[in-house]
Amino acid sequence: MSQAYDILIIGGGPGGYVTAIRAAQLGFKTAVVEREHLGGICLNWGCIPTKALLRSAEIFHQATHAKDYGLTLEGKMGFDIADIVKRSRGVSGQLNGGVGFLLKKNKVDVIWGEAKITKPGEVSVGKATKPAVQPQHPVPKGVLGEGTYTAKHIIVATGARPRALPGIEPDKKLIWTYFEAMVPDFMPKSLIVMGSGAIGIEFASFYRSLGAEVTVVEVMPQILPVEDADIAAVARKRFEKLGMKIMSSAKVTAVKKGANSVTATVVDEKGASVDITADRLISAVGVIGNIEGLGLEALGVKTDRGCIVTDGLGKTNVAGIYAIGDVAGPPMLAHKAEHEGVLTVEAIKGLHVHAMDKQKIPGCTYCHPQIASVGLTEAKAKDAGFTLKVGRFPFMGNGKAIALGEPDGLVKTIFDAKTGKLLGAHMVGAEVTELIQGFVVAMGLETTEEELMHTVFPHPTLSEMMHECVLDAYGRAIHI
């Protein structure tokens, strides 16, 4: 079988399928090659199903604190971990089917199998070496299969997988990655979470909310290392208040497996060694790009630290071959992949596009409390040589936050004192993953502090804290 396309995309995750739809809108004959499941990690094992899990944990937490709201719930609160997982997988399955519908609607061909670029402009698709799909995700009818396909432009969107540390490799039973942590066959009473980035903290928050004893081990002095120090400090205080044990400046040096438990040897910040035993250990030490088996090395495509090097508009050093999303390097976020793919096909079309400004890509962590940010942290802004105006506003000063029973949190803004340019915004607290986009839009429009100060924010809302935070940076806050 051989078919010719204008654009062929390897990988049907959020970057791949969004890119395919935009390419089709621009008039390109387009195909997507997928080996496992449409929607990629995000819809099937990441962004979406984890949020379903966290929603269940959030409701359970609220129910067990009903008295705080003047409510009485009869009987003992409980949960069924199998039903929680079932709901999460159902949400994933529903959206997975939606991706197939969208591709069909936009006349994008789906090719099922394992892709390899044999030469610029040619892709060989063989039988998938992984299981084709999860049981609830059947192979769509009418898709293409094994064969040779040609395309003027080939876009690699193969995503990433969990990184493994030597000697602490996941085994699917005692040492979990996010795959196993998302579909547990029992509720562990205790957990060690290795790594305090977004993935590690989200799972730590989920299991702690359901009652597990959780210990987080982070090698850096600060948990949530990419976040602003003030935000990370507020988050840590809140996590510890909820009963989570956190060890920063600490490292897991060895792991011993028992019959149904795991013991981690941890060297703490003082250099002392301590053994911690738990039912399971979650390894959340980052991800690495899926670059193997694609034929990139033979073609001379440049890679760096497990990712494909691009020029900012998806181009690699080999003509006709592009890369987007996680496989093209950090930040490894679904929305970055989607936007990057759109920019790439619009550039191929000849439209006037600008390379993505990674400082304007928001990051969100859906733990309890939530964390969201965009732009430079205060430390990075200082390192870049800016003179700063920094504003802070606590959730405790906001009427809506108090009414919600969510008084713990902080909003922080960072401005260039010389120009009034918004350099960064950082938040921790209830619903901040929804609030952050206000600052993202402001940065995209190059809004100044004066424009933000003269914007009317509705009352009573959490968004008022964004306004107060800007006012505080210039000594004009009203409610603190």
For residue 330, the 8-state DSSP code is S
| Pairing verdict, β 363-365 and 160-162 | unpaired
- 304: phi then psi, degrees, rounded to nearest 5: -150, 120
The DSSP line for 301-312 is: --EETTEE---S
Q: Are 30 and 342 in contact (CB under 8 A)?
A: no
Check the CA dihedral 454-458-464-466 and report its sign.
negative
Question: By C-alpha distance, which of 341, 290, 257 is closest to 161?
Answer: 290
In the chain, the amino acid numbered 115 is: A
User: How many CB atoms lie under 10 A from the CB of residue 292?
Assistant: 11
Task: Please state, in angstroms and rounded to a whole number, the distance separating the CA atoms of residues 139 and 137.
Answer: 7
For residue 335, the 8-state DSSP code is H
Helix or strand (DSSP H, E) at 436: helix 432-444
Tokens of 187: 């509720």
| Pairing verdict, β 287-289 and 147-156 | unpaired
3-state secondary structure of 27: coil
Check if 467 is active-site.
no
Looking at 335, 459, 467, 479, which residue is catalytic? 459
Tokens of 134: 């999860």
Check the CA dihedral 392-395-397-399 and report its sign.
positive
User: How long is the chain?
Assistant: 480
Tokens of 130: 């992984």
Q: Which residues are catalytic?
A: 459
